[in-house]
Structure formats: structure tokens, C-alpha cells
Structure 1
Amino acid sequence: MSRYLSTLLIALFLLTGCSSKTVNPPAEEGNPKSHVKPFEYEYDYIIHALYYKDHGKYANAYVLFEELYKKTENLEYKIEALKLLIGMQQYEEAYRQLTTLLKRYPKNAELYRLLAVTDLKLKKVDEALESAKKALALEPDNIQDIDLVASIYLLNGAFQKAYDTYNSYYIRHHDDESVVKMASILYHKLKNPQKTIQLLETHSKMIGCGERVCVFLAELYRRNNDLESLASVYARLYDSTGATEYAQKAAEIYAYQKQFGKAVKLLESSGADDNLLLAIYKQTKTFDKAAKLAKRLYDETLDPVWLAEYGILLYEAAPKKDDPKLLAKVIRNLSKAFKEGVSDPLYYNYLGYLLIDHDIDVQWGIELVKKALKLEPDSAFYIDSLAWGHYKLGECKKAYSEMEKVIKKLGLEDEEIKSHWNKIQKCRSRKK
């Protein structure tokens, strides 16, 4: 059902008070509705015409709209009949009727639009352009007429004229729709990507970063691999639309470029990607914020992985790492995470090493490290933890044997590994 007919139907209900008779407007000179005549069964005809149209029976609908026009002389019914005629591909008949009607209604833009469409169907491109221009002259601020004239120019390959047609409208309205169409012509037809970017950037900064405008702009930056500008556009899209997907995209680019401050600001304000935010907090050693975020994620999801993360981050954030209360809390959280289903070697090794290094329970620590090694037997860091556990138990030969594997894999660049290696070597020498 067309928008016009839906509106017309509502109007008829209001005018008739649900009766079958209509009330017509008073006559006005130059107004097509001034000729409208009363017709007793107008409402019934409309109902049937709409039914036929909605069910694809265009010929039946056409007959009824024609009859409505003859009975009432309401031009809007004739226009609906002509649309159906064009829909049935009866272009010659539509052309004949339109040219006749335009003699009676020479200032009706809708008739000129229909004539332009009919001309195009009949391959009369030049005539179609003239008809479209006449419609545009009558309604210079109607985007339908702008589209029609520009489309015909594009069909003829007159790309600059199509661009200029939209530009004349854009100068008056500064709307998103026409600027996007101008940008499309500039980029795809006139092959001027730089000018396209300038046009969209100027519009987005002066008028606003509407979604259609800035998504187009983002695609241009993506094709140019201009990540800095791409991230900026996504950030503006988030500001203008509030859609978190744009904040996430911008933050991902900022994080990739190591612009962590910009990424954090976006992620904190939008809540777009807590996983990425936590990763950046850890990367930038902002462990206090990371611990709070991990705790919140655990409280919201009850996923024990976040509880394990919380335990680790509590330790990393603490200024005094040998505080007994802190160590007890870390052990408690990691142990609870294991009971709730966490079986990741990273967490086994972390708690194991903590138990060993702080001399809390070296034997339990070694058991946890061995669990980690079962899952990742080639991890040099886990082997280092095991060697350190043997050292703490005074098992210098075992410690030395394990530590040799670590040195072969990683060398002595890591300060902690270097320290372990030196102490284990001394221990072995003393035992000898």
C-alpha cells in the first residue's frame, strides 16, 4: 500500500465518519482538486482498488482507479492508475495519457516525473531528461526530482552534471543523503578519491558525523590503510550514534598502534570490550584498575577465569608483595578458581611459583607447576618454576638439571632466570 493511499484512506475515514459518502474541498483556481466531484461509493472503490493492488492484480486495480478518476476528477486517482499502467509495462499508453493530462495540468511535477520514467522505458533518454528537468523546475527542493535528473545524467555518462545537480541541492540543504550521493559520484565515476575524502570530512566536521556519511568515509580510509584517520572516524561515529561497535573498532586500532591512552578512554566510556580493556590495563601495568575490572567481570558472569585473573592482578598491583594478608587472599582466590573449573597451566604455574618463591608451601607449589607442565611440557618458564622449587628444597642437582633446559631455550637475558641460574649453580657447587 502506497504512503499516499494509506494517508488518503485515513483521511476518508475522518471525512466520511465511516459512511460511504465523501466531503470534497472547496474549489480553488489552479488546484487540481478544485474539479473534484462527490461520488457516493468512493470509499468502497478505494477499498477494492487497494485490495487488488496489494494482491498483484494491477489490471483490476487500474480499472477501479480509472473509474474513481472519471467519477470524481480527482487527479490523485489518475496518478495511481498511471503508476499501475507503467507497472504493467504499458508504456505507450501511459505516454499517451500523460502527454494529454499535462496539457490540462502543466504545473504538476508528479506527472512530469511519471513521464520521465515512461520516456526512459521507451528509450527516449533526451525526452526523459527534459521531463525530469521540468519536474525539478516546479519542485526545486524535492530530492526525488534531484535523483531523477542526476540518474539520467549518470545514464548518459554526464557524471559532472550529475554531481552538480546534487551539489545545487546540497548547497541549500547540507543533508547527509545528497552529500553521500555526491561522494559516490566523485569516487566511483569521477575517480577522485582525495576530493571525496575532503568533501565527507568537511561535511562531518561542520554538519555532523552521520552514520551513512562516516561509514563511507571509514571505508575510504580502510582502503587507503590510513589507520589513524580510520580510528578517528570510528570514534566520531561512536560519539554521534552511541553504537559501541564503533568504539570497539576505534579502540582496537588505537591498541594496535600502541596508543593505549586513547583506547582506554574509549573503552572506559563505552564499555564496548572489557576483554580488550583488561588486556590494555595489563599491558600498561595498570594493575589496580585491572584487578577491579576482573572482579567486576567475575561478579557479573561467575566465570572462574576472571576470579583467577583477579587473584593474579591483586598480587601484581600490591606495592608490598610479601604481605601475609595479600598472599592469603591471592591463594584463596586462585584455589577457588581451580575448584570452580579453571585448569589453565598459566594459573597453575602462577600459584605454584608464588607458593615456592615466598616459601609458603614449596611441595604444593611443585605439584601445581607439574600440573602446568603436563599441559605444556616445553614451557621454559614452567621448567624454571620447577627448578626453583627443587632449589628451595635443597635439591640442587635436580634444580641444576632442570635449569640447564631453561638456559638452552631462553639464555640469560631475563634477569629473574639469570638470578635463579646463579643461585642454583652456587648451590650445586656447595653440594659437590
Structure 2
Amino acid sequence: MENEELKIKQIYQYTNILITLFFLLFIIGCSAKKPQIGKKAFDKEDEYIMKALFFESNGDYNKSIPIYEFLYKKTNKRIYLDKKIEDLFYSKKYNDVIKEVEDLCKKKLCDDKILRYEVFAYLNLGKLNEAKDLLLRKLNKKDEFFYSVMSYILISEGKESLALEYIKSLYALNPNKNNLLKLSDFLIKLKKYNEALAYLRTHLKMYGCDYDICIKLADVYKSLYDYDNLANIYEKLGVYDIKFYILAFNIYIQNKEFKKAERLIKTAKLGDEYYLFLYLAKKDYKKAAYKSLELYDKTGNLDYLIKYCEYLYTSHPTKRS
């Protein structure tokens, strides 16, 4: 198993290198001087790219960084400077990242992608105020990144109410599953269960029972001891795994909702054993006895024959105590 995981990891890394290599080779010739498409700025440009990618794949950023710096100075192609900043970040040289990005901004060459590296550099240095200031001054306030990072900073500062507003804005901007889970998790943390349920139920009504969303709903219902709704969600989750049908069945039995339990046996095709459990819960020993006999005829399991005798005896009105 470990060998298979190692092979998969190696294939994944190799694929990433090929994609990056293709992109870098494609933009060769697209420098500030705009040489002809497909033309290299100098003869060994592609060889330097290969070396840099090799060092990156091995996590040897101290060797890839100077290569990208050389390529940028030689060709004036922005992609190489971006790659240098990226590798500075991955090598945890956060102060260098900040300096490089600030230099670009002074030249009015910084963009949102590069500014994000500076934000993360500040966060990794524990400089929350600087990260927040950069977000507010230079980042697009209609972008998911802005709301996501601002909420993280505010949570770190203990400003949970304000952080919640940013997470709500993030979800309003892009109401996808991940943002909903982030919002519902935070609402649950703040013990705002009804508000979390409102968001989750709305998503359920609009898009159906996504596994992760329904699991989150089940967690909330369990916290609130709302077993009726919990059973309902388990039934919906049954399409993913039969164990959820069984959990719903057990709730119906415990709540003595025998009609719901019987319906579930039929719709979920749980099998005759569950009829036996149902009849025993209802204390209908006569039906339990004959269902045990059916199961014995089907399986040849002597335990069912013994149960048949036991339940038949228990069901007899003149049995001895």
C-alpha cells in the first residue's frame, strides 16, 4: 500500500511539473520586448527552466530561486519573477516575499495574485495588522479571498461577531458547499444552531441531499436531540450508505414509530430480519415466531428455529409464567 501511495505521489508531482513546464515553454518569447512567438529570448532558456522545475520538485527552493532570478533579469519575463516570489514563500523566506512584492508595487507592477503571497507572508509572521491593512488597501473587496482571509484574521483577534459577518458575505458572494460548511461550522461554534439549520435546510431544499451537507445537518440535529429530523436526514443519506437507513430504523423503533419503521423496511429493502426486529419491538410474538420460521427456511440457521419455538411459546395465551 505504501509503495502504491508513493507511486501516486510521484505521478502527481511529475504531472504538475509537466503542466508548469508546458506553460513556461509556451510563454517563452513573450517578454517585454515581445520577441516572435515560439522564439526563445536566449539559447539555453528552456534548459534553465528544466533545472528550476527539477529543483522545485525536490523542494530545493534555494537552487530554483536564483535560476528564476537569472531568467527574469535575462528575459524580463514577468512569469519568472512570479515564480521566484512563489518559491521564496514555499521556502518560508517571508520577509523576502514582502520586500519583493513591495518593490513590484512601487513600480506599479503588483497584481492580486502576488499580493496574496504578501498577505500570507504577514500571516505566517504573525503580523495580523499588516495583513489586514494590506487586504483593506490593495485587495479586491468583491473577491472570495478577501472575505475568507479577513474572517480568519478577525477570528484570530477574537472578534467573532464581526468575523461572522465576513463569512456570511463570503457565502453570499459564492453560495457553494465549502462556503456553506464554513459558515455552518462557525454558527455551530457560536451555538447559533437555528441559524445554521436555516442555511443548511435552504441548501438541502434547493440542491438536494449532498453528503457533506446532510452529515452536517445530522450533527446539528443530534446536538439538539431532534430525533425526528435526524431520522429523516438519515433516510436521505441512505442512498450513500445502507448504515444510515439502519440508523433511521433504530430511531423509529426507539420512538415506537412502527409504521415509519415498516415503511422504511419496504422502501429501503432492508430484509426480513428487520421485520423480526419490528415485531419484537411491538411485542407481536406470533408474527415474530412465523418470521423466524421463514428465516430458518431461507437460511437453515438453527438459531431462527430456536427463536421460532421461543416466540411461539411466548405468544401462547396459556403459557406458563
**TM-score, normalised via structure 1 length:** 0.58
Q: 1:88 to 1:249 in 2, by over 3 A?
A: same
Which of 276, 279, 283 is equivalent to 2:276?
A: 279
Paired position in structure 2 for 1:255: 253
Q: Summarize the Cα distance change of 1:261–1:349 in structure 2 as closer, same or farther, 3 Å threshold.
A: closer
SS of the aligned residue for 2:256 comes to coil
Residue 292 of structure 2 is aligned to residue 415 of structure 1? no
- Deviation for aligned residue 1:157: 1.6
User: What CA deviation, in whole Å up to 9, does each residue of 1:355-375 have, x standing for no partner?
Assistant: xxxxxxxxxxxxxxxxxxxxx
How far apart, in 2, do the equivalents of 1:83 and 1:282 lie?
66
Q: 1:77 aligns with which of 77, 80, 91?
A: 80
Counterpart CA distance in 2 for 1:235 and 1:349 is 30
Counterparts of residues 59-138 of structure 1 (less than 5 Å): 59-105=62-108, 108-134=111-137, 136-137=139-140
Cα distance in 1 for residues equivalent to 2:154 and 2:255: 44
Closer, same or farther in 2 for the Cα pair 1:27/1:228, shift >3 Å? Answer: farther
Using the alignment, how far apart are the partners of 1:417 and 1:65 within structure 2?
91
What is the distance in 2 between the residues matched to 1:128 and 1:2? 34
For 2:307 and 2:238, how far apart are their aligned partners in 1? Answer: 41
Tell me which moved more, 191-200 or 95-104. 191-200
Decide whether aligned partners of structure 1 residues 3 and 221 sit closer, same or farther in structure 2, where only a CA change above 3 A counts: farther
Question: Equivalent residue for 2:197?
Answer: 197
CA 1:233–1:39: 2 relative to 1, 3 Å = farther
Structure 2 residues not aligned, in runs of 5+: 1-12
Instruction: Report the residue type matching 1:246 in the other structure.
Output: F
Q: Are 1:313 and 2:316 an aligned pair?
A: no
Counterpart-to-counterpart distance in 2, 1:26 and 1:102:
18
Question: Is 1:347–2:305 an aligned residue pair?
Answer: yes
How many equivalent residue pairs? Answer: 303
> How far is 1:185 from its partner?
1.9
Structure 1 position 183 matched with structure 2 position 184 = yes
Name stretches of at least 5 consecutive residues in structure 1 with no aligned partner: 17-21, 29-35, 295-308, 315-329, 354-380, 386-409, 422-432
Let me know the Cα RMSD of the aligned residues.
4.0
Q: Which residue pairs with 2:209 in the alignment?
A: 209
Preserved contact between residue 102 and residue 111 of structure 1 (Cα < 8 Å): no
TM-score, structure 2 length as denominator?
A: 0.76
1:165: Cα distance to partner?
A: 1.7
8 Å contact from structure 1 (residues 135, 145) kept in 2: no
Specify the structure having the higher radius of gyration (Cα). Answer: 1
State the distance in 2 between where 1:5 and 1:270 align: 48
Determine which structure has greater relative contact order: mean sequence separation of CA pairs < 8 Å that are 6+ residues apart, divided by chain length: 2
Whether 1:152 and 2:153 are equivalent positions in the alignment is yes
Name the CA distance, whole Å, in 1 between partners of 2:246 and 2:76. Answer: 59
CA contact (8 A) 1:113 1:135 kept: no
Task: Give 1:45's aligned residue.
Answer: 48
Amino acid aligned to 1:415: P
Q: How far off its partner does 1:109 sit? A: 0.7
Residues of 1 paired with 2:227 and 2:63: CA distance?
A: 58
Equivalent residue letter for 1:191: K
